[in-house]
Structure 1
Amino acid sequence: MNSDVILTCAVTGAGDTTGRSPHVPVTPQQIADASIEAAKAGASIVHVHVRDPETGKGSRDPELFRETVERIRESDTDVVINLTAGMGGDWVPDADNPAMPGPGTDMIGPEDRLRHVELCKPEICSLDCGTLNFGNGDEIYISTPPTLRAMAAMVKEWGVKPEMEVFDLGHIRFATQMVSEGLIADQPLFQICLGIPWGADHTVDTLKVMKDQLPSNAIWGGFGISRMQMAMAAASVAMGGNIRVGLEDNLYLSRGVLATNAQLVERAVQLVNLMGGRVVSPQEARNKLNLLGCDK
């Protein structure tokens, strides 16, 4: 059981969700406001993607990240900022010639994947630790060992802590290898991501198996998507981990009732309290994670 829980709110993501809920933030102002509201509701950390303000689609434009981060930092609300570094690894084979990229492909190198992290210097950035069949179409998310090693070395140099997102057991195996190679500073930070097609399923058994494969000194959290969001939060706390909620992973507060990020955070705080724990403040999260990056 974890009595002092770090709660992350993933406020928007990059998925095709803007047409499914009016609460999914799109513009830098909306994403910053959602982050601030989540922090005021009790979130220790906000996990931030950005979107194209015109189309609502996920973006990796460094200037959109810069504006969003500046708006959060200039507010009077403290929160740890965790920027995604998962954009730029999408491969969709061409229907006529699978050896070539088709529509939807967005492949870039390690430096470009981290351009916004270098610009904004958040305290944390995500590091997706492996390749994955993503959804039921032809899309593959590609994150190779040389790319990951290069990204880990860069964020270590900048003093940004990598949150190693793992979607399957092989991802944990490689992330642990990077730890053993000295590419990850201090205690490694893992996020166990469950229910994403076609990674590991969002079940208690799966969470237990993956948690048991982490390095003994790891700090970790786990989350499930959609209707399993709160169930996996409860399981993570019970197993000694931290939690993540938010509209990136789930749009609903209950069946048929669309949620805001702040409402999901409030529900998660209530859940932790009912289990006999508490959600830590942003500064307590910094202390627990030994963060080296810049403050708010």
Structure 2
Amino acid sequence: MSLTLIPFGLETSTNNLVDVAEVENGKKCGCICPSCSTPLIAKQGNEKAWHFSHSSKGVKDKTKDECAYNFYLSLRLMARQVISGNLTIALPEYKKTLAKKTSSGKYAEVPYLITPPSEITLLDVKVESIFHGHHVDIVGNISGYDFCIYFTHPDRTVPYELEWIRDSKSGIIEIKLDALHKVFLDNRKKDGLEPFKNLFLEFLRTDLKSKRWISHPRFQRAKESAEKQLNAMALRMVFEHKKSESKTEEKKIPSAKKELPHHRCAKCSTAWSVKQGYICPKCFTVCRTSH
């Protein structure tokens, strides 16, 4: 299924977004395009994945705008409808690594955990809200902390300014919607289609791979703790390096040869090794003591 085909339509009788599997086939679906208001046709065939398409006959006067509708836009519109009140969502772990080059030329690294994987319930959820002056998809609250969700897909990335927000009272997470296209297609291949809005909510609740932490309330505190560990590690590495160099230098210095025991002649003061016997090699006096 192309990303430009329409998975959801706006049901005119209820003004709600509906899955193509929830309506009658063909023009009797009673839906219009959420983007351009053109009447839709529900395509529920046996070969292609079910989808809506624009009606092409006698609808020119009903089309309000040029249609830029696509799969990912439809998901964000669906979010307005299915997310309200509270939202339970699984969150991935958030970890980072600090590194620095020491004076010895080696690198010290300290991995640090900001938060483990968890499941939270956001309260007072608002869809398409303002967060730190930016338009975002979801804003909620948990234990007095503001929490923001920003949906991304191939045509939509996280604003640069959001990437650099570091607030001890709020958290920001990116959710990539890319994987949902395959979820949608796989669901269309099954008997007894599951309404896609249910799959969407399940994706938000359980999927971890598509989520990325942008900011967390404990980030700065965890980073400062890791920096202290990193500095201590770097100092130890430098100390160990100098200690190792010192031992290497000691090995290079030749040690003085141990002097062997010797005799000294009491008569002529000549000294000789005990290995040469007890007789002075100069005056032939017998010597029985050694030094």
- TM-score range with shorter-chain normalisation? under 0.3
Higher strand share: 2
> Comparing both chains, which one has the higher relative contact order based on Cα–Cα distances under 8 Å and sequence gaps of 6 or more?
1
Higher helix share: 1
- Which structure has the bigger radius of gyration? 2
Provide the TM-score with structure 1 as the length reference: 0.23
